Structure 1
Amino acid sequence: MPRVIIIFVDIFFPTRHASHYNYINKEDIYNEIKIQEPAKNYFNLKSCTYQDIILNNIDVEVNTITDYKPFKRPLSGGEFQPKDCVALIKTALIVPYRNRTEQLHIFLNYMHHFLQNQHIHYRIFIVDQNDTLPFNRAKMLNYGAKLAIKLNYDCLILHDVDLLPLNTGNIYGCAKSPRHMSSSLDTFRYNLPYLSLFGGAVSILSQQYEKINGMSNIFYGWGGEDDDFYRRLATNGLTPYRFSPEVSRYTMLRHKKENANDNRFKLLEEAVDKSNLDGLNSLPHRYTIKLEGLYTHLIVS
């Protein structure tokens, strides 16, 4: 019954959403993106540029999402660097995953095509929970982040496998502050459900993620981990922000919902006090790494 009520309210009372919120205008986005120093340029290539990609934003039609999209074959492990310019954005795309084969195929095809058109240096990490416990999204993100940081990725994008960006100007790089990327989602009629939402697709600098000790590892099942993530950021003086809805639209692929964690509210009350001991620094070393053709596969047991 509670879920029915929530759905009813979402559909018939859309004004309850946080329709008015502060965001960075499209014209100012480029100045917020963290640009890295160009790598050694052995071929005298020009640096890749990003401002035109943002300003000349193109909307993707939702009904074309599942169509095949051409892309260049990345290196083993899903790493790609443009050949015609020197990338000034280097991103680790980290995706928590379990038993979503059809969605994964759509995601990989779409995202390789999407990211290559942005001329960034990226690598896709699929973090696969291989046990019989309820799904622990945050813990999988921690595993992926820890490996990405070890591999010298300064920008982390934490991304659900069922979300796909609909605006080509939504640059997949980190900003000066943690960024809620998927603030305009079709499931919520492109409204923001509440101001402190920080999940779905977010970007955060590696040093910021380490500062808050990552996310909590105690949330099994649906719900709670995003709210704790937001609290960790706030406690450490990191205020998330958003870019214009014009470049922040996403679509959600259909999927079966995870079972809710009935204990999530109690865990939320306890989690902040334990943040120094629960997160990146408390991950057990129980995983294997496989370099697949389109992604780096972390299998967590």
Structure 2
Amino acid sequence: MLRARPLCELLPPNLGPISINRSYIDLEELDSRAFPEVKWGGHFSPHDCTAVHKVAIIVPFRDRKQHLPIFLNHMHRFLMKQKLEYGIFIIEQVRSDYFNRGKLLNVGFLESQNVSHWHCFIFHDIDLLPMDQRNIYSCPLEKHPRHHAAAVDRLHFKLPYTDLFGGVTAMTLEQFKKVNGFSNRYWGWGGEDDDMCYRLFKMGYRITRYNMSVARYIMLGHSKTRANPKRGQILSGVKGKMKKDGLSSVEYLVMKRNLHQLYTHIIADINEDLESLKLTYLAHMLFGDKLS
């Protein structure tokens, strides 16, 4: 008779500060050689104990191919040491001149549910790498969301303002649904994280953080994303829009869904003119070459 495996420790031993390799890595070589313990789709669970936390890592993505292998190489090493069961989901945006981080995170949340029932969701920018393994990627037991990336090197390891809730954040399934996810209205850099902060406060949550000596991150270099010129205007009108704007209203079309050894790659069209595109896509699925 097989014995049930013991539960993994909430804080495994021998965790601490770690070095970060920011050198270029070939993605194909990383996929084929590294991390044999990771199952296709970027899913890992400890072999010697049963993980207490089951975590989906949701990463919005566009035009950062040089960052992807660096991120995967660092994060798998980091997460496996924490004895978590986890999956990494890279959600890539197509079309549109402006990036919509909030909408992509909503897509990632919904699509990850088709893979497994995750207890906890880490919403993670691809250019941020944690520097300390004691920064446990779980959802807090005190039932409040957690802001992980509190101390970033580009910001001199200081928190710019108290209500910051961006970069790397953790929410439970219940919390994310209760606030109706992220707003879908922020096209371009900025605004969606402050909007989420408002949603959390509105629903009675507060933001928790690890000690600043633990919540430290390195930011990878990149060109600046185009800013959202209307973010201030949208933020000022957040009140009353929360129930109608978010998970309940997100529209998107999955163009491709690929499983790689180290991650699940979902390519999605999140533009606002999706109806005609959906009809064209459906026609091609039904009739294929007959349309040409």
User: TM-score, normalised on structure 2?
Assistant: 0.84
Structure 1 pair 285–260 and aligned structure 2 pair: CA distance change class (3 A): closer
Aligned-pair CA distance for 1:148? 2.6
117 and 65 in structure 1: CA distance in 2 versus 1, 3 angstrom threshold? farther
**Other structure's SS at 1:229 match:** helix
Paired positions, count = 258
Is there any run of 5+ residues in structure 1 with no aligned partner, and where? 1-40
- Rounded Cα–Cα distance in structure 2 between residues aligned with 1:148 and 1:173: 16
Counterparts of 2:35 and 2:16, CA distance in 1: 18
Say which is worse superposed, 254-263 or 285-294, in terms of deviation.
Answer: 285-294
- Shift, 1:65, TM fit: 4.3
Alignment-derived partner of residue 288 in structure 2: none
Alpha carbons 1:228, 1:272 under 8 Å: kept: no
**Residue in 2 that maps onto 1:15:** none
Q: Percent identity?
A: 40
How far did residue 290 of structure 1 move? 1.9
What do residues 106-145 of structure 1 show as CA deviations (whole Å, max 9, x unaligned)?
Answer: 0011111111111110000100001133000010000011
Name 1:92's counterpart in structure 2. Answer: 56
How far apart are the structure 2 equivalents of 1:149 and 1:239?
A: 25
C-alpha separation between the residues in 2 aligned to 1:208 and 1:182? 19
- Do the aligned residues in 2 keep the contact of 1:65 with 1:110 (CA within 8 Å)? no
| Structure 1 segment 200-211 matched on structure 2, within 5 A | 200-211=167-178
Letter matched to residue 120 of structure 2: C
Matched residue, 2:123: 158
Equivalence map 1:170-185=2 (5 Å): 170-175=135-140, 176-185=143-152
Residue 220 of structure 2 aligns with an amino acid whose one-letter code is L
> Structure 2 counterpart of 1:298, which letter?
I
Pairing 1:1-301 to 2, within 5 Å after superposition: 42-53=2-13, 56-62=14-20, 64-66=21-23, 71-150=35-114, 151-175=116-140, 176-287=143-254, 288-301=256-269
Q: Is the 8 A contact 1:57 1:247 kept in 2?
A: no
| Cα 1:66/1:59, change in 2 over 3 Å | farther
Partner Cα distance (1:114, 1:42) in 2: 30
User: In 2, distance between residues paired with 1:294 and 1:154?
Assistant: 20
- Any idea what SS the aligned residue of 1:282 has? coil
2-structure distance, mates of 1:266, 1:198: 19
User: Residues 65-116 of structure 1, C-alpha deviation per residue, up to 9 Å, x if partnerless?
Assistant: 4487963341111111111111111100000000111101100111111111
Distance 1:264 1:285, change over 3 A: closer
Where structure 2 has 5 or more consecutive residues not aligned to the other structure, the ranges are: 270-292
